[in-house]
Amino acid sequence: MDIPKALNPVEALKNALPDAVADVVEFRDETTIVVDPTKIRSVMQFLRDTSGLIYNFLSDISAVDYWDQSYNYDINKRFGVSYHIYSMLYNRRLRVKVYLPEEAPTVESVTSIWPAANWLEREIIDMMGVKFVGHPDPRRVLMPEDWEGYPHRRDYPLGYETIQFSFNVEEIIKHKPLAKE
């Protein structure tokens, strides 16, 4: 079987979808293509199906929160979602990244392209509070269903349990209800 010649993913993507690519970052031999969040599905479909690219395996989807205590961050780029895709044919990885705003972070789901994205996206919905449009089952996965807040956001405190002494037991009981009689 002839294997088609490998294409450079950055150039191929820039030729096919010129307005989707926002930026390209190289760090430690890893290529990151920053794309427009509204075009993520067409970009992923292109990367998976184009001969010479064939990124057929979705390794991971990770979300990162750029929030910072001194509020020194771009509110239009607070969240980053990194898709790590892998091509078994050409044995190479690629990172596709989208930046999402602080107000209502929303991106299209890629579950229809890789079913593996189902649970990976659910984890981000649960932990980061990013919405994936078109996700078939957007329930919480790791935290309880009635949990409030998104634990992996940087402004979510790490949390601890107050140690109970006789002087603060009243205070603790107030926010930690006991089983009802």
Partner 1 sequence: MAVSHVEGTSVGAVAQESTWEGNVEELRGLVSDRALTGETMLLNMGPHHPSTHGVLRLLLELDGEQIVTCLPDVGFLHTGIEKNIEAKTYEKGVTLTDRMDYLSPMSNNMVFCLAIEKLVDLDVPARAQVIRVICLELSRISSHLVWLGTHALDLGAMSVFLYAFREREMILNMFEMLSGQRLMGSYFRPGGVWRDLTPDFLPTLEKFLDYFPAKIDDYESLLTNNPLWIDRTQGIGVVEPEDALAWGMSGPSLRGSGVNWDIRKAMPYSGYEQYDFHVPLGEHGDVYDRFFIRILELRESVKIIRQAIQKLPGGPFRSQNRKFVPPPRAELGQSMEAVIHHFKLWTEGFSAPDAEVYVSVESPRGEIGCYLHGTGGNKPRRVHFKTPSYMHIGALPVMTKDHFIADLVAIIGSVDIVLGDCDR
**Which DSSP string do the residues of 47-96 spell out, in sequence order?**
HHHSTTT---EEEEEEEEE---TT--S-GGG-EEEEEEEEETTTTEEEEE
- Strand 131-133 and strand 79-87: the pairing is unpaired
Closest distance of CB 15 from partner 1, Å: 26
Please give the residue ranges that form the binding site for partner 1 (CB under 8 A).
27-28, 30, 32, 56-60, 62-66, 82, 84, 88, 91, 93, 95, 114-116, 118-120, 123, 137, 139-145, 151-152, 154, 158, 179-181
Closest distance of CB 18 from partner 1, Å: 25
Contact 63, 79 (CB under 8 A): yes
Q: Which is nearer to partner 1, 74 or 168 (CB)?
A: 74
Q: Which is nearer to partner 1, 40 or 87 (CB)?
A: 87
d(CA 96, CA 85): 8
Write out the two tokens for 8. Answer: 């450079």
Closest distance of CB 165 from partner 1, Å: 25
Q: Which is nearer to partner 1, 43 or 120 (CB)?
A: 120
d(CA 177, CA 181): 11
Q: Which is nearer to partner 1, 42 or 112 (CB)?
A: 112
Q: Which is nearer to partner 1, 103 or 146 (CB)?
A: 146
Closest distance of CB 108 from partner 1, Å: 18
Closest distance of CB 47 from partner 1, Å: 15
d(CA 53, CA 92): 10
Q: Please count the other Cβ atoms lying within 10 Å of the Cβ belonging to residue 120.
A: 21
Contact 98, 107 (CB under 8 A): yes
